[in-house]
Homo-oligomer: A and B are copies of this chain.
Amino acid sequence: MNDPVVTPPPAAAPSTVSAPAAKPALGYQPLYRQVKDELIRRIAEGVWGPGAALPSEPQLAQELGVSAGTVRKALDEMAVEHLVVRRQGKGTYVGRHDEARILFQYFRLIPDQGERQFPDSLMLEQSAARATPEEAAVLGVPVGAAILRMRRKRSLGGEPVIVEDITVPLDLFPGLDTMEIPNNLYGLYADGFGVTIGQAVERLKATAADAEVAAVLGVSPGTPLLGIDRLAKSLDGRVAEWRVSLCLTLRHHYLSEMR
């Protein structure tokens, strides 16, 4: 009946044993981490889709053959990483890439005065192509692999503030090049293709606007812009998107909190 999906407790009776494994060998991982990896694997595989409710903690514990406390510790870590959302009295849910979450997790450009808000998008260019050596290196695909390039203008409160170039590997998103592209891309990645963005790294530089970007943003060439080079990875660690944003920071700023 009991079917430990993770590394089964050492031997015989799974009910009374407590040790995680006989050997504290090199690749040793605590039980709760094995549970966490297993749960992440299931989410990445789509066993539970975005927004779906996970089984209750006692259910998961029994199914995985571990104690409730161990499941709890795994879920706690996942909640910190926004992979799941827990609501007391209701249940634990797979995290969704809705606008609210994007806004507070991935979008850091805030008006100097006023509320932070989700930006509008206007597609400027869009073309399926073959990966250049640079694109291939960044995305982790072979040179010549099918990719999609997009350029969007994004506005906050009606004011254009960002020009962003997005490059994605098409093998992760088959058919994306023939689809209507929504404002919230990460939501589409997750709901439409089962690719959940789990981590992103941004590198920021100050640059000067070239003629083309300046025209789009309605400023003069040479205006200082905040350049953001973002690499977004999916839950299984693949690079899912390369995004270069040029931001006008006259009346907005990039927020970075450190505790």
Contact = CB atoms under 8 A, between A and B. Distances in A.
Nearest to A204: B254
A205 interface: yes
Copies in the complex: 2
Interface residues of A, number: 32
Nearest to A249: B205
A194 interface: no
A116 interface: no
B259 A203 contact: no
Contacts of A208: 224
Contacts of A203: 110, 253-256
Contact of A224 (B105, B200, B207): B207
A199 B254 contact: no
A236 to B, nearest CB: 15
A204 B256 contact: yes
Interface string A174-210: 0000000000000000000000001111111111100
A72 to B, nearest CB: 12
A256 B205 contact: no
Given A206-B225, A207-B206, A224-B206, A199 B259 contact: yes
The 8 closest A-B pairs by CB, nearest first: A206-B224, A204-B254, A205-B249, A224-B224, A203-B253, A206-B206, A206-B226, A202-B256
Interface of A: 81-82, 105-106, 108, 110, 198-208, 222, 224-227, 229, 247, 249, 253-259
